[in-house]
Amino acid sequence: MRQTRLTLGKLPPDVLKRYLLRMTGAPSPDLLVAPSIGVDFGVVRLGEGSRSMIVSSDPVTGVEERIGWYAVNVSANDVATSGNRPRFLQSVMLLPDDADERMVARISSDMSRTAKALGIAIVGGHTELTPGLRRPIVMTTVFAFADSYITAAGARERDSILMTKSAAVEGTAILASEAKGLDAATVKRARGYFRKLSVVEEAIAAYQTGHVHAMHDCTEGGVLGAVYEMSYASGLSFELDASSIPVSKETLGVCSALRLDPLRLISSGTLILSVEAGKEKEVAEAIWKRASTRATVVGRVRGGGRKAVLVGTDGTRMRIRQPPTDELWRVLGADGVR
């Protein structure tokens, strides 16, 4: 066994392939989408018909404020990228040994309100006080039932790459209070970005057009991380135009103050879509009509094998050779991210 030292954040692809993706228990003919790099949910056949179950899990480990909100949204977003509405949720809450009833009430009520707004029923889970924790850890598993679906591996050559909202949505909300020198109004607006974390409605609206081949929520590693994972999953080259990627003034302010790259900063709430060429306007209009969310063309899917390339404003081409380490680690360090 190799003694490779691991760093904070997601495991690198070579470690995932060497261990987790090779160690998946008993095989089953009903497992339609097996664990793979870049695909954030599994699919299981239900019975003899075409009905299937979409399932995804995610932890929230380094955010205490509004942790219940984050915990519901992050798993719901992953399921929604299949094109289907999340329906049910299980949670595991691990609380520090100094937790009191107020913490339990705050987290559970946040989760309930968030799930209710998304139409998700909470069906059970587990909660305990755990020794050695400095802050709560909440893990959620979300389920949906589907007759059809797409995955992040479904991108096609010559597709357009669309992006909703702007870069670094989640990171902007988390780090607003850390950015010294910003005026109070900018900080307040930036902290309010947590309200943008859901991609459920925009993902469903886009899928229902019939012109979307793949979707991915931008979580750890931000926009570049999501595009890298989609490229890896689909086996195609994704080319991004840096000058086309929307970055809000609040995000620019936070990232400038903290010297961070907004394209590498965690961005739950931003959806990347691989869309049939010529259908970009139709998909963008469907998203706007249903979710009041703008979608921007930010690049193109090319042939030539899995490769993610960022074309700079000066025309330089930078290849993303591995999943980028999220910029949030530079600020929070060992205290962690989600």
What are 29-65's pLDDT values in tens digits? 999 999 999 999 999 999 888 899 999 999 988 678 8
pLDDT of residue 149: 97
**Any idea of the CA torsion for 314, 253, 78, 276, to the nearest 10 degrees?**
-30
Range of the domain at 123: 13-146
Residue 28: CATH number of its domain: 3.30.1330.10
The Cα 80–Cα 207 span in angstroms is 9
Q: What is the pLDDT of residue 2?
A: 62
3-state SS, one letter per residue, for 76-96 = HHHHHCCCCCCCEEEEEEEEE
Q: What is the pLDDT of residue 338?
A: 42
Same domain as 302, residue 165: yes
For the chain, which residues score pLDDT lower than 70?
A: 1-3, 62, 333-338
Residues 156 and 261 in one domain: yes
This prediction's pTM:
0.93
Q: What's residue 61's pLDDT?
A: 82
Is residue 7 a part of any domain in this protein? no
The number of C-alpha atoms within 13 Å of 294 and in the hemisphere containing its C-beta is: 10
Query: What's the token pair of residue 247?
Result: 């970055």
Do 160 and 141 fall into the same domain? no
Domain count, the chain: 2
The pLDDT assigned to 337 comes to: 43
How confident is the model at residue 3, as a pLDDT?
Answer: 66
